[in-house]
Amino acid sequence: MANLGTLCPRHCFLLAVLLLSLSVQTKVLSYQYKVGDLNAWGIPSSSNPQIYAKWSKYHTFGIGDSLLFLYPPSQDSVIQVKAESYNSCNLKDPILYMNNGNSLFNITAEGEYFFTSGKPGHCEQRQRLHILAGNVTATAFAPSDGPSALSDSSAPSYPTVFGTIPAPPSSSPSSPLSVSVVSTIGFVVCALIGGTM
């Protein structure tokens, strides 16, 4: 693609930049979070058994955001469960069952959400996720995934690991097309105005 600056007068270029940044700001309101930042929702490795608890603790979620669980569909699944089932690893009567390997859970209300694998035995091995969406206080927490477990001596402490990193939500925009659409519009407007001058 040709350099905008050579095609457009300077103010047109600024207009395009403005449109682009407006679009970016809008997108910030809604994120698609890849659970655990992992390409495979699965049993945590022994080197990072608390990965899901840590991941949820250091992200904030709100209405409109979504959680993307990626996994080989033959090997795993995702179920949304109630707090009690989460705590006891009870896989019966899930609220929602997803097994297509590319499961998008849309957060549509504030509250607490609990997920685990639908595969027997995986929940016990800490393949489970608890998130808070919006301004809510946790009402239930699995002891093994609680804050005290997070500071156990086998795991590096968080201040060391994440001390100065401003924790960007490592997520992809939920509508990746919007940037290119809006910047294309900016570019066209730009070219039109530039052409008439």
Ligand X SMILES: *[C@@H]1O[C@H](CO)[C@@H](O)[C@H](O)[C@H]1NC(C)=O
Give min distance, CB of 107 to ligand X, in A.
9
Tokens of 195: 């052409």
Per rule CB under 6 A, is residue 138 in the interface with ligand X? no
**Upper half-sphere CA count for residue 164 (Cβ side, 13 Å):** 0
Q: How far apart are CA 191 and CA 110, in angstroms?
A: 44
Among 46, 135, 160, 164, binds ligand X (CB under 6 A): 135
Give min distance, CB of 26 to ligand X, in A.
17
Number of residues forming the site for ligand X (CB under 6 A): 4
Give min distance, CB of 73 to ligand X, in A.
15
Among 18, 104, 161, 192, binds ligand X (CB under 6 A): 104
Give min distance, CB of 136 to ligand X, in A.
8
Per rule CB under 6 A, is residue 108 in the interface with ligand X? no
Site for ligand X in 142-181 (CB under 6 A): none
Per rule CB under 6 A, is residue 106 in the interface with ligand X? yes
Per rule CB under 6 A, is residue 71 in the interface with ligand X? no
Containing 51, the helix (H) or strand (E) segment is helix 51-57
> CA–CA distance from 141 to each of 30, 132, 145 (Å)?
26, 11, 7
Q: Which long-range contacts (CB under 8 A, 24 or more apart) does 156-160 make?
A: 158/54, 158/58
| Among 89, 83, 80, 147, CA closest to 108 | 80
Residue 146, Cβ neighbours under 10 Å: how many?
13
Q: Annotate each residue in 18-57 with x if it binds ligand X (CB under 6 A) or - if it does not, as one string.
A: ----------------------------------------
Per rule CB under 6 A, is residue 105 in the interface with ligand X? yes
Q: How far apart are CA 161 and CA 4, in angstroms?
A: 41
Tokens of 22: 């407006």
Which of 26-34, 100-108, 149-157, 187-195 is the region at the interface with ligand X (rule: CB under 6 A)? 100-108
Applying CB under 6 A, the residues found at the interface with ligand X are: 104-106, 135
